[in-house]
Structure 1
Amino acid sequence: MAERIDAVLGSGRASGLHGLVVMRGGEVVVEWYGAGVDHHLNESLGHVVFDRDTLHDLRSVSKSVVALVYGIALGEGLVPEPGESLMRQFPEFPDLVPGREHLTIEHALTMTLGIEWREDLPYTDPANGEIAMEFAPDRHRYVLERPVVEEAGKRWSYCGGASALVGEIVSRGVGRPMDDYAGERLFGPLGISEYFWSRGDDGVPRAASGLRLRPIDLAAVGQLVLDGGRDIVPGEWIREVLRARVVVGDWAEYGYQWYLNGGRAECIGNGGQRLVVVPGEELVVAVTAGEYDEGQGSSQAVLDAVLGA
């Protein structure tokens, strides 16, 4: 593995790579950090020399972490079951209920809400659904009032707004901001003391993309999943998260905010942020990169090297 990784790094095919942590059998076997231009959301941080203690944007990997936090709250009886009504969790919007009575929390967890949502645009474009949500007077109303364009539960459609709804359901259930609860119930038990979860101008944690962690701590989250939750996240919930429910294009399936592909569970974030868990090989791979709005080239090249693809 090390020789393959060195070959990729030497070839320049992973020039945007910022960090790599590989764990096998619960032990760190590879840890590498580079340098490059980084961003926090759409704000440039300039040229950064990374090391073990440098926090990194995880972008949409945040969504997968939110799913774990929801599961912790569910295990404590603080949030409704996934099959419960979605609109019932937002009673302040009675005018939006007609035509949406059928929506459940599970539709948000699986990104099968059947609403009109454009997130295939650059995240610098105000027409991008997630960016428009951030600028809206009420982010949750913005998501829920999107036109219903197809039957819910049938087709996966990428939607940061769905994750925002799940994050808010957690906040309401636990009686405090979702990120505070995550810090106490997820990060604390894992020994993660350094993290940052950005909030919008409305003070609401950005559930879809706001989390920053060290790569070594992102790997610890993956190891937690590989270990079946370790009584931090209920084991039954880990199994539900990793149970395929809908097809994503021609390359993967989707559980609860996690991608499932060929025996692997994956989290994917803009710019090359990746977390891959391979139960059959007791393997966890955490990758951070700086190719925001450019693709997954560097992270995919190094993942192929690690996984022997």
Structure 2
Amino acid sequence: MRTELRDGVAEALRDGRLAGLHAAVVVRDGETLLEHYGAGTDFCWGLPLGVVEFGPETLHDLRSVTKSITALLYGIALGAGRVPSPEQPLLGQFPEYPDLAADPERSRLTVEHALTMSLGLEWREDVPYDSPANAEIAMELAPDRYRYVLERPIVAPPGDQWHYCGGASALLGRLIAEGAGQPLAQYARTVLFAPLGIHNVEWTVGVDGVASAASGLRLTPRDLARIGELVLADGAWDGRQIVPAEWIRTMLRPRLETTWGAHYGYQWYLETVADHRLASGHGNGGQRLVVVPELGVTVAITAGNYDDPDQWQTSATLLEHVILPALH
């Protein structure tokens, strides 16, 4: 199986089907079946790093895979009684905005609407991430990121439809940090990364010094795969329950359909690929964390196809045409 995976990656690279691939790690039942590293131009949250030779200890932007890890942190904090339950009113957690809470339409928002990206607020991330016309960039540039999100114009009833929104993840990050009484990155190191033996971590912050809960994490592919293994194990690791098992099940329950046909749980995509049901986190450039419960498999992919309209082709090809066929 290892040979088939290695040869499959080599062939796909020769054929030009894995453009921009930086690294890939496949783990099954705790056994590493594939660990591939390449080289290529890379960036750290938009800042050029030049050509990087990737290896086991090289950190890589996760971009929006960060959202899926933020959801795990929310579950840990919820289990510790530090954050509100999903059905709680969202604006009740932001008492500094009484004017927004007084709006009867906005008062309908709940924490779950943030978890499922169904806030019903105007939000555009379909423009390049180096443009202030992109709502996530505008949020980072705003004097108050949370007000920026919560005062967006209402365009749909909350909970009615899924609409991609990094601002929803930012709100969750604020709830975690407030409940934990410490910055998000510090809390994450204490309750998630350190228990998993993950110590090589960076979490990019905005101009206000706040870690981006939507896109700021940098991990090695090995450690990203370890996060997937934790999800496969219902939140348990080395005899310790790190994330409540009930939260893992709740988080991965499909709730809304995305605009491209997958379903969405709590900051995780749920879809069927090559007849296998999987849960995944996706990030700009082709970043991917995939768990395939029926196979006991975790896949971590990093790539450098940032802002490319076809950025998903590399990770999709690798997963659907190389990795999954080799695992039968």
Q: TM-score, normalised by structure 1?
A: 0.98
Amino acid at match of 1:187: F
Find the partner of 1:167 among 173, 179, 182.
173
Q: 2:36 aligns with which of 32, 35, 38?
A: 32
Say whether 1:266 aligns with 2:266.
no
CA deviations on 1:172-224 (whole Å, 9 max, x unpaired) are 00001111101110000100001000111111110000000000000000000
Question: Which of residues 13, 18, 25 in structure 2 aligns to 1:14?
Answer: 18
Alignment correspondent of 1:78: 82
Sequence identity percentage: 56
Equivalent of 1:223 in 222, 226, 229: 229
Match of 2:313 in 1: 297
Letter in 2 for 1:197: W
CA distance in 1, matches of 2:163, 2:298: 27
Distance of 1:188 and 1:103 partners within structure 2: 34
Does 1:280 pair with 2:297?
no
Residue 153 of structure 1 deviates from its aligned partner by 0.4
Match of 1:55 among 56, 59, 67: 59
Contact persistence 2:126–2:134 (CA under 8 A): yes
Alpha-carbon separation, structure 1, partners of 2:58 and 2:8: 25
For residues 1-309 of structure 1, the aligned pairs below 5 Å read 1-2=4-5, 3-97=7-101, 98=103, 99-230=105-236, 231-262=241-272, 263-294=277-308, 295-304=311-320, 305-308=322-325
Shift in CA distance, 102/172, structure 1 to aligned 2, threshold 3 Å: same
**AA at the equivalent of 1:20:** A
Aligned residue type for 1:116: E
Q: Secondary structure at the match of 2:89?
A: coil
- Segment of structure 1 superposing worse, 267-276 or 292-301: 292-301
Deviation by residue 1:51-103 (Cα, 9 ceiling, x = unmatched): 00000000000000000000000001111101101001100000111131100
Separation in 1, partners of 2:61, 2:11 = 26
Q: Report the alpha carbon displacement of residue 250 of structure 1 after superposing the two structures with TM.
A: 4.2
SS in 1 for 2:130: coil
What is the rounded CA distance, in whole Å, between the counterparts of 1:153 and 1:41 in structure 2?
30
Deviates more, 1:36-45 or 1:292-301: 292-301
Q: Specify the SS of the correspondent of 2:207.
A: coil
3-state SS of paired residue (1:91): coil
Structure 1 residue 13: Cα displacement:
1.2
Structure 2 counterpart of 1:147, one-letter code: P
- State the distance in 1 between where 2:99 and 2:259 align: 34
CA RMSD of aligned residues (A): 1.0
CA distance in 2, matches of 1:308, 1:104: 41
| Structure 1 residues without counterparts, runs of 5 or longer | none
Moved over 2 A (4+): 3-6
For residues 146-175 of structure 1, the C-alpha deviation after alignment (integer angstroms, 9 at most, x for no partner) is: 011110101000000000000000000000
Q: Which amino acid aligns with 2:249?
A: R
Spell out, residue by residue over 1:260-293, the C-alpha distance to the aligned partner (whole angstroms, 9 max, x if none).
0021001000000001100001111000000000
SS across alignment from 2:301? strand
Amino acid in the other structure paired with 2:93: Q
Deviates more, 1:111-120 or 1:299-308: 299-308
Deviation, 1:5, is 2.2
CA contact (8 A) 2:45 2:204 kept: no
Letter matched to residue 324 of structure 2: L
